[in-house]
Amino acid sequence: MRRRHQHNKDRQRLAVHEYLMNPGSHMGRTGDRFGIPSSCMSRMVRESTSVEFWKKCKKPQQVVESKAKFCAAEQELNQQFLHRRKVLGFYVDGLWLRYKMKRILKMFRPKGWDTFKYSNGWLYRFCKRYRISDQARTDQKCHSDEYRVEQILKFLSSYLALQKSRPAVDPYFGRFSPDRHWHVDQVPMPFSFPRVRSLNPVGTPCKIKGLVRSSFSHRQCSVNVTTRAVGEQVVPPVIIFYGLGQKFIELEILAWAKLNHVVVYFQKKAWCDSTFFHWFLLNVFNKNIRESGELGEQLLFLDNLGSHMTDSIIALMKELAIVPLFLALNCTDVAAPIDHHVGCYLKVKVKGWYEADLEQNYDLWRGGADDVEAPNPHEFLDTTTRRIKMAQWLDEAWGELRVMDQFLLSSFVSTGCLMGLRGEHGIKMRGLNGVLDEAITTML
């Protein structure tokens, strides 16, 4: 005999209750929101005529209370959400859902709409009702733990060999003392495109399409961040704006002159190419280090980015007494100081200010980048205002971060970018701790 699908009884009654309370709704779609097949839904709807079906529920009153205050508005919001995700393929975040819910309620004006609070609690319950979760893009490459451990061990071997290659400047660490350990990396900010995460229906692939209808649909800016393990952070971050830098007004110049820690640069893709990196090594990295009195050779950890590995860049670093060491391939999320620690801190700080401003000026921020659905695509924040805000947020975040000495030191120690000559380490990589400890012991 064929076995019936087994589901939580409260969930079954909640699904049936929502279907019965919304005449004309689709039975199969209602069941999908609760993870119940359409065949089971039809059976349960037939059984719902029985009083026993409802009596078996532990708390029957919760079925009614869990119903949304504005059910019709939420159904419309869900349809717009599904259209944006499944048809257009654009990303969705909590701010988008709040913004659309406000527009829907303002359009239909149900009783009590003007006092409705678009709180985090409502957002959580809405996502739970319609089976929506925050997901990472599913088309990303992934590598096994064995592969990642192998790459990390290769890097650690190269690091220890480099530290032992010449007479020790530091008796404990070797050729390079902790204050000569540097890492440089590029950090995309929260307002950059394309996105790598989105709210998405549970059980469906999270595909995110890039927006290409305006200049702000591209990556608006990225940040080239440089940190050292120990000592004063003398190398400022460089914010790389999208464009060629041919059109900016006096207001921007005055705003940039007031920045305490940030250097502004323009690049047509807002990213680190070989031209930018050549300029950075000469005019930012080497210049600030030498002016601070550091005259010896410096160890610079780099990602395996093409612009870091060209012959001209390698020759320039040799000329400037900079010794490059490339991090473990495809492991920067756990084995790079900035990716694993510093970049996350900067993103969280800037994201808070960005989202607070976005909530107040949603139409203006998203009007240019999301003009498919904007109420007036011709009204959006001009480039000057956007760039000034981004640079100011980064300047404030870096001002807080640069004095967090213990945090910056731990970012090098926990990723294996600062070890003793005999292999003493404090490596802590999420998901790899046990395997790595054993592998490092065997290697030494």
Percent of the chain with pLDDT over 90: 34
Among 336, 388, 347, 307, residue whose Cα is nearest residue 226: 336
Structure token pair of residue 93: 């975040």
pLDDT surpassing 70 at residue 378 = no
Cα–Cα distance, 158 to 171 (Å, whole number)? 19
pLDDT band at 262 (very low <50, low <70, confident <90, very high): very high
Question: What does DSSP assign to residue 170?
Answer: B
The string of pLDDT tens digits covering residues 204-231 is: 888 887 654 444 556 788 899 999 999 9
Structure token pair of residue 140: 């990303």
Phi, psi (degrees; rounded to nearest 5) at 258: -90, -5
Q: Are 308 and 275 in contact (CB under 8 A)?
A: no
**Sign (positive or negative) of CA dihedral 111, 113, 119, 122:** positive
Residue 52: predicted pLDDT: 63
Hey, what amino acid is at 417? Answer: C
pLDDT surpassing 50 at residue 233 = yes
Cα–Cα distance, 140 to 157 (Å, whole number)? 28
pLDDT surpassing 60 at residue 66 = no
Q: Are 383 and 218 in contact (CB under 8 A)?
A: no
Structure token pair of residue 199: 């709210």
Number of neighbours of residue 104 by Cβ within 10 angstroms? 19
Residue 225: predicted pLDDT: 95
Structure token pair of residue 35: 């993870």
Most confident range, picked from 52-66, 104-118, 393-407? 393-407
Q: What pTM was estimated for this model as a whole?
A: 0.74
The two counts, helices (H) then strands (E), for the chain are 20, 8
Q: Are 55 and 64 in contact (CB under 8 A)?
A: no
Token look-up 């089971």 returns: 40
Residue 245: predicted pLDDT: 78
Q: Are 386 and 377 in contact (CB under 8 A)?
A: no
Q: Are 41 and 19 in contact (CB under 8 A)?
A: yes
Task: Compute the CA torsion angle 331, 336, 342, 344 (nearest 10 deg).
Answer: 0
Among 380, 396, 388, residue whose Cα is nearest residue 250: 388
Residue 274: predicted pLDDT: 93
pLDDT surpassing 50 at residue 293 = yes
C-beta contacts of 359-365 below 8 A and 24+ residues apart: 359/95, 359/98, 362/95, 362/99, 365/191
Residue 142: predicted pLDDT: 63
Q: Are 371 and 254 in contact (CB under 8 A)?
A: no
Task: Determine the Cα angle at 76 with ends 73 and 80, to 5°.
Answer: 135
Residue 275: predicted pLDDT: 94
Cα–Cα distance, 69 to 129 (Å, whole number)? 12
pLDDT surpassing 70 at residue 58 = no
Residue 63: predicted pLDDT: 36
The string of pLDDT tens digits covering residues 388-422 is: 999 999 999 999 999 999 999 999 999 989 998 88
Most confident range, picked from 189-198, 209-218, 297-306? 297-306
Cα–Cα distance, 388 to 373 (Å, whole number)? 26
The string of pLDDT tens digits covering residues 306-354 is: 889 999 999 999 999 999 999 998 888 888 999 878 888 898 899 889 8
Judged by DSSP in three states, 180 sits in helix
Task: Compute the CA torsion angle 42, 204, 83, 17 (nearest 10 deg).
Answer: 30
- Beta 181-188 vs 221-228: how paired, if at all? antiparallel
| Average confidence score pLDDT of the chain | 82
pLDDT surpassing 70 at residue 55 = no
- Beta 132-136 vs 238-242: how paired, if at all? unpaired
Percent of the chain with pLDDT over 70: 84
**Consecutive H or E run containing 440:** helix 433-443
Helix axes 250-257, 383-401, angle to 10 degrees: 0
Provide the β-strand partners of residue 228.
Answer: 182
Stronger pLDDT, 362 or 82, i.e. the higher one: 82
Residue 215: predicted pLDDT: 47
pLDDT band at 67 (very low <50, low <70, confident <90, very high): low
Q: Domain 145-443 maps to which CATH number in 3.40.50.20, 3.60.110.10, 2.40.50.140, 3.30.420.10?
A: 3.30.420.10
Among 300, 184, 177, residue whose Cα is nearest residue 230: 177
Residue 61: predicted pLDDT: 36
Q: Where are the domains of the chain?
A: 9-136, 145-443
pLDDT band at 136 (very low <50, low <70, confident <90, very high): confident
CA distances from 67 to 20, 117, 171, 237, 279 (A): 12, 16, 68, 50, 59
Residue 436: predicted pLDDT: 75
Cis omega (within 30 of 0) for bond into 194: yes
CA distances from 323 to 228, 234, 427 (A): 14, 18, 23
